[in-house]
Amino acid sequence: MEINRRSLLAASSLAAVAPLSRARAQGQTIRLGVLTDMSGPYRDSTGPASLLMTQVAAEEFAGRGFTVEVIGADHQNKPDVGANIARQWYDQGMDAIVDVPTSSVAFAVNQIAKEKNKVFLNSGAASSDLTGSQCSPNTVHWTYDTYMLAKGTGGAIVRNGGDTWYFVTADYAFGHALQRDTSRFVEAAGGRVLGASRYPFPQTTDFSAFVLQAQASRAKVLGMANASGDTINTIKAAREFGLHRTMKLAALLMSSTDIHALGLDAGQGLLLTEAFYWDLNDRTRALSSRVRARNQDRPPSQVPAGCYGAALHYLKAVADMGAAAAKADGRAAVARMKAMPTDDDAFGPGRIREDGRKLHPVYLFEVKTPAESSGPWDYYKVAATTPAEEAFRPLAEGGCPFVHS
């Protein structure tokens, strides 16, 4: 398989997205578009690394009788920008869109993929509604979701005495879903939610007022219903005002790149839930060793790892059904993905459920102290493991319209 790779970063508008060449649009070429955050708060945990890991999946699938082209674009965390890029890509022959952090953007891409009968391989967006009320037969939700994160981190903290919560929440679809799902676990366990502060996303950088409101609530737990740079800045503000001495800081979505930026002095003892960590086992370590030299000597974090796993499994389905058939019918390609067991070096064996939810084990990690760490990227120790069939919302509870009970 020949691999054509072009990285394209859409700076501000649809005009920045170059059309796919007409010559390449003919013949059996599978096109993967990585629509991600190249310039905003999620860049470090998605962005260039998501593009790279999708390229790695294409490279590892060489020799299957069709070419693969991977390109990237920046959706700027804006639903209108993301929707315009997705629509133009699909109209010009893009077969699958990959990643799409920011749930409000993902909802738009999800709908467009369904309308145009293309494929959406979601790794970066977290809202569990993508396999619930907004589920689509053209979408696979790979890495994590708000239900899984809430159950993993929120449930563990409540079991350890953190029974009153105050949330600092990003004011868009992802933050709302994460607060909603975590609140359900807190209340089901007998806890109470004392309040919440919502802040504008993505333009907020000063979280002082919000953490002071949390402190005034006298809750035992500060639930951070945000991600990446926003979570880092929330933790820094909380420590500045001494909240870590009286409240448990619950990072509901954090990755190893965030801990790297935050530092172990500030991050030690945090509990967080992830589906992937580079040092979990021999396969994850082997994958990480293959890509570190191309990723600024960094191992992949969970969202780029999800892009790798999703793209690789999609290409397996394309090979199984034939490129022409896969290009002609995105819904059929996703159905073939669901019919085939999954297996890759990031997540190991698993499966894709009828509603599009990818199932794999999930890990509750505790961030190491500086003394426990052997050096950069040695940040986690496993506190608990949730089996794949228990980690995600039960199929019957999601409300996916096309799932038959």
pLDDT one digit per residue (tens) for the chain, 405 residues: 444 444 344 333 332 343 443 334 345 999 999 999 999 999 999 999 999 999 999 999 877 889 999 999 999 999 999 999 999 999 999 999 999 999 999 999 999 999 999 999 999 999 999 999 999 999 999 999 999 999 999 988 998 899 999 999 999 999 999 999 999 999 999 999 999 999 999 999 999 999 999 999 999 999 999 999 999 999 999 999 999 999 999 999 999 999 999 999 999 999 999 999 999 999 999 999 999 999 999 999 999 999 999 999 999 999 999 999 999 999 999 999 999 999 999 999 999 999 999 999 999 999 999 999 999 999 999 999 999 999 999 999 999 999 975
Shared domain for 193 and 262, answered yes or no, is yes
Q: Count up the domains in the chain and report the number.
A: 2
What is the pTM for the complete model shown? 0.92
- Looking at the domain assignment, is residue 305 inside a domain? yes
**The two structure tokens encoding residue 387:** 């089996």
Round to whole Å and give the CA distance between 337 and 367.
Answer: 35
Question: Which among 393, 357, 151, 107 is positioned nearest to 253, based on CA atoms?
Answer: 151
Round to whole Å and give the CA distance between 71 and 146.
Answer: 28
Q: For residues 165-184, b (16+ Cβ closer than 10 Å) or e, as one string?
A: bbbbbbebbbbbbbbbbbbe
Round to whole Å and give the CA distance between 267 and 259.
Answer: 6
Shared domain for 53 and 135, answered yes or no, is yes
- Looking at the domain assignment, is residue 396 inside a domain? no
- Asked whether 343 and 287 are in contact (CB, 8 A), the reply is no
Shared domain for 65 and 185, answered yes or no, is no
Sequence-distant (6+) residues with CB within 8 A of 263 are: none
Shared domain for 341 and 385, answered yes or no, is no
| Residue reference for tokens 């993993």 | 152
In this predicted structure, what is the pLDDT of residue 61? 86
Q: Range of 370's domain?
A: 147-274+362-391
Round to whole Å and give the CA distance between 161 and 156.
Answer: 9
Shared domain for 20 and 72, answered yes or no, is yes
In this predicted structure, what is the pLDDT of residue 24? 40
Phi/psi of residue 169, nearest 5 degrees: -125, 130
- Looking at the domain assignment, is residue 404 inside a domain? no
- Looking at the domain assignment, is residue 399 inside a domain? no
In this predicted structure, what is the pLDDT of residue 404? 76
- Looking at the domain assignment, is residue 290 inside a domain? yes
Shared domain for 225 and 302, answered yes or no, is no
Shared domain for 8 and 46, answered yes or no, is yes
DSSP secondary structure string, 1-47? Answer: --EEE------SSGGGSPPPPHHHHSSSEEEEEEEE-SSSTTTTTSH
CATH of the domain at 212: 3.40.50.2300
Question: Which among 124, 189, 177, 156 is positioned nearest to 391, based on CA atoms?
Answer: 156
CA 360 from chain centre, in angstroms, equals: 14
Helix, strand, coil percentages for the chain (3-state, nearest 5): 45, 20, 35
Shared domain for 255 and 324, answered yes or no, is no
